[in-house]
Structure 1
Amino acid sequence: MPPILPILLGGLLISLGINFFLSPHRLLDGGIIGLALIMRYLWGFKTGLSIFLLSVPIYLFIGKMDRRLLFNSLVGLSVSSLMIDGLSPFRGWFLLPMLPSAMMGGLLVGTGVGIMLRHRTSTGGTDLIAQYVSERTGWNAGVLIFLIDVLVIACGSPILDPRRLLHTLLTISAVGFATSVCVSAGKTDG
Structure 2
Amino acid sequence: MIIAGAIFMAMGLELFLVPNHLLDGGIVGISIILAHLTGFELGLFIFLLNIPFFFLGYKQIGKTFALSTVLGITVLSISTYLLHPVPRFTDDLLLATVFGGIALGVGVGLVIRYGGSLDGTEILAILFNKTTPLSVGEIIMFFNLMIFTIAGFVFTWEQAMYSVLAYFIAFKTIDIVIQGFDESKSVYIISDYVDDVGQAIMDRLGRGVTYLHGEGAYTGDEKKIIFTVITRLEEAKLKTIVEDIDTHAFLAIGNIAEVRGGRFKKRNIH
Task: Mark yes or no: TM-score above 0.5.
Answer: yes
Q: Distance in 1 between matches of 2:152 and 2:48?
A: 22
Higher normalized helix content (fraction of residues): 1
Q: Among 10, 18, 25, which residue is 1:15 paired with?
A: 10
Q: Distance in 2 between matches of 1:83 and 1:9?
A: 11
1:180 corresponds to which residue?
Answer: 175
Q: Among 95, 99, 106, which residue is 2:101 paired with?
A: 106
Alignment of 1:63-102 (within 5 A): 63-65=58-60, 66-92=62-88, 94-102=89-97
- Is residue 35 of structure 1 aligned with residue 30 of structure 2? yes
1:137 corresponds to which residue?
Answer: none
TM-score, normalization: structure 2? 0.59
- Is residue 169 of structure 1 aligned with residue 164 of structure 2? yes
Q: Distance in 1 between matches of 2:7 and 2:107?
A: 7
Q: Distance in 2 between matches of 1:46 and 1:97?
A: 24
Give the SS at the match of 2:84. Answer: helix
Structure 1: unaligned runs, 5 residues or longer: 1-5, 134-140
CA root-mean-square deviation: 2.8
Deviations 1:48-76 (A, max 9, x none): 11100000112222222222211111111
1:53 corresponds to which residue?
Answer: 48
How many residue pairs are counted as aligned between the two chains? 179
Q: Among 135, 151, 171, which residue is 1:156 paired with?
A: 151
Q: Distance in 1 between matches of 2:104 and 2:127?
A: 20
Structure 2: unaligned runs, 5 residues or longer: 129-135, 184-256, 261-270
Seen in structure 2, the aligned counterparts of structure 1 residues 124 and 30 have a Cα distance that, compared at 3 Å, is closer
Q: Distance in 1 between matches of 2:126 and 2:6?
A: 17
Give the SS at the match of 1:90. Answer: coil
Further displaced range: 10-19 or 177-186: 177-186
Would the aligned equivalents of 1:111 and 1:175 in 2 still touch at CA under 8 Å?
Answer: yes
Would the aligned equivalents of 1:122 and 1:128 in 2 still touch at CA under 8 Å?
Answer: no
Would the aligned equivalents of 1:143 and 1:176 in 2 still touch at CA under 8 Å?
Answer: no
Seen in structure 2, the aligned counterparts of structure 1 residues 130 and 91 have a Cα distance that, compared at 3 Å, is farther
Higher normalized strand content (fraction of residues): 2
Alignment of 1:96-135 (within 5 A): 96-129=91-124
Structure index of larger Rg: 2
Percent identical pairs in the alignment equals 26
Query: Quick one: higher RCO (CA 8 Å, sep 6+), 1 or 2?
Result: 1
Deviations 1:30-55 (A, max 9, x none): 11110110011111121111100000
